[in-house]
Amino acid sequence: MNVAEMKHAKNELIVRAREIHEGAEKEQRDLEAAELGNFEQLRQDALALDNRIKREEDLLAMTSGASGGSSEPRAFQAQGEGDLGSGASATEKVRASEEFRSAFRRWMRFGNSGLTQAEQRALSSVDANGGYMMAPLQVANDLIVAINNRLFIRQLSTKLTIEANAKSLGVPTIATDPSDPDWTAEIAAIQEDTAMAFGRRDLTPYLLTKFLKVSNKLLRSVSNVEAVINDRLAYKFAVAIEKACMTGTGATGPLGIFVADANGIPAASDVATATATAIVFDDLVKVKYSLPQQYWAKAQWVINPTVGLTLALVKEAGATGQYIWRESTRVGEPSTLLGHAVNLSAYAPNTVTTGLYTAILGDFSFYWMVDSLNFQLKRLDELYAINSQTGFIGQLEMDGAPVLGDAFRRMKQA
């Protein structure tokens, strides 16, 4: 066994010995003869492993020093580029290695006691407020995939990754189109355009955090504790991101599609309904035909399920009186409204009343999301020890906003 494996084995022995001790303490009795024998054997085995670990670490340190390198053993070896691409940094290659992931799993279960000193330093990313444990690259990717599966807007949007050393992503825009060209004679002077103007919008990843507590018994009994914690974090992060993408102001997070903003979808993209508290067939037709036709091919609806029920009861004008909502008859295939797929979000506006938005139709490839994959976990060992729990703080940085207001049309109650 290498040092990391021996430390892991030692911790397992200590956990088993502690369970024997705590079991007797809970029943307010001394250890029975068989229990005492098992406890003593586990203790001796743990001490033997501890001695082996110390010897091995001393040998590694001496070997490293004799070779002229660092006085500490190297914790991880970078893997080949593989799926990371030719632009992957040395740090990214190390984080993608199996050794890194193995050490990360031991840290999540046992904290720093399960790691060598070199591994502790390699896993740590220190900022001005203290140390954070850097999640392995595969863990960060798995988390983002989990969010994609639960957030429809991420599946439809354009997703970009910001470089670690960049603070924001600048999005070039055309603020004003040029005026129409002039019909001129061959030798006539050509008029200069003065209307066209360019602009830029910045997408700056904001910090999204979540804290949860996990029982120590669960940490010991679940072999793939990453999956458990990832699942809960993915759910909580997905809810927060979806809310922001629907109604966020853009001040400390994404700018929502149901917020009138010159930097996203302006009020000029709003289409008023005929009445304040109802939606009729003509309202939906006006929304569709106010959207420029070049966006129809990829345009989709986003509505709240409550509003969806209202729309599902709307009938065509005229003698036919057919429902305009087309329910899907195939699993995984969305329902349609006026020929466009419908996406239901519980975090879209849900009230049909004066001055409120009730639906949006648009090409969501013009909603851009910027992610920083520097997902981090902070483990809190002592704070909740009295309750036999371990705390975990997850952090993710992202931003999002509509980058072309003309690709969307919102329905607003009159």
What is the predicted pLDDT for the residue at 10?
84
> Is 253 in a helix, a strand, or coil?
coil
164 and 119 together in one domain: no
The position carrying tokens 């420029």 is 292
357 and 236 together in one domain: yes
What is the predicted pLDDT for the residue at 267?
96
365 and 232 together in one domain: yes
For the chain of 414 residues, list the mean pLDDT of each consecutive stretch of 10. Answer: 77 84 86 89 87 76 50 54 56 72 76 75 56 64 64 87 72 71 81 75 86 82 70 80 94 95 94 94 96 97 94 82 86 89 93 96 95 75 85 88 94 96
Identify any residues that bridge with 206 across adjacent strands, giving them in sequence order.
Answer: 398
386 and 240 together in one domain: yes
What angle separates helix 225-247 from helix 98-110, to the nearest 10 degrees?
90
Q: What angle do CA 214, 124, 56 make, to 5 degrees?
A: 95
44 and 171 together in one domain: no
166 and 96 together in one domain: no
Whole-angstrom CA distances from 193 to 56, 180, 198, 200, 226 are 75, 9, 13, 20, 59
Identify any residues that bridge with 169 across adjacent strands, giving them in sequence order.
Answer: 203
The CATH number for 360's domain is 3.90.1690
Identify any residues that bridge with 326 across adjacent strands, giving them in sequence order.
Answer: 336
Q: Do the domain assignments include residue 184?
A: no
> Is 396 in a helix, a strand, or coil?
strand
Can you tell me the distance from the alpha carbon of 42 to that of 50, in angstroms, rounded to the nearest whole number? 12
Q: Do the domain assignments include residue 183?
A: no
Q: What is the DSSP letter of 393?
A: E
84 and 224 together in one domain: no
What is the predicted pLDDT for the residue at 75?
60
Can you tell me the distance from the alpha carbon of 301 to that of 410, in angstroms, rounded to the nearest whole number? 10
What is the predicted pLDDT for the residue at 189?
81
Domains in the chain, number: 2
Q: Do the domain assignments include residue 59?
A: yes
Q: Which of 87, 103, 127 is the last residue of a domain?
A: 127
116 and 28 together in one domain: yes
22 and 140 together in one domain: no
Q: Do the domain assignments include residue 270?
A: yes
Q: Which two structure tokens, joined as six digits, stand for 247?
A: 């109604």
Can you tell me the distance from the alpha carbon of 274 to that of 243, in angstroms, rounded to the nearest whole number? 28
What is the predicted pLDDT for the residue at 130?
47
Residues contacting 371, CB < 8 A, separation 6+: 144, 159, 160, 161, 162, 205, 396, 397, 398
Can you tell me the distance from the alpha carbon of 183 to that of 229, in angstroms, rounded to the nearest whole number? 66
What is the predicted pLDDT for the residue at 126?
47
CB hemisphere CA count around 223 (13 angstroms)? 0
Q: What values do phi and psi take at 227, rounded to 5?
A: -65, -40
Q: Do the domain assignments include residue 386?
A: yes
237 and 339 together in one domain: yes
Amino acid identity at 123:
L
> Are 3 and 76 in contact, with CB atoms under 8 Å apart?
no
What is the predicted pLDDT for the residue at 162?
81
Q: Which of 105, 127, 149 is the last residue of a domain?
A: 127
118 and 161 together in one domain: no
Q: Do the domain assignments include residue 26?
A: yes
Q: Do the domain assignments include residue 64?
A: yes
What angle separates helix 137-150 from helix 225-247, to the nearest 10 degrees?
50
The position carrying tokens 């740590």 is 124
Cα torsion through 365, 368, 372, 378, rounded to 10: -90
Q: Which of 127, 149, 168 is the last residue of a domain?
A: 127
327 and 271 together in one domain: yes
Residues contacting 322, CB < 8 A, separation 6+: 315, 316
> Is 376 in a helix, a strand, or coil?
strand
Q: Do the domain assignments include residue 187?
A: no
Owning domain of residue 306: 135-177+193-414
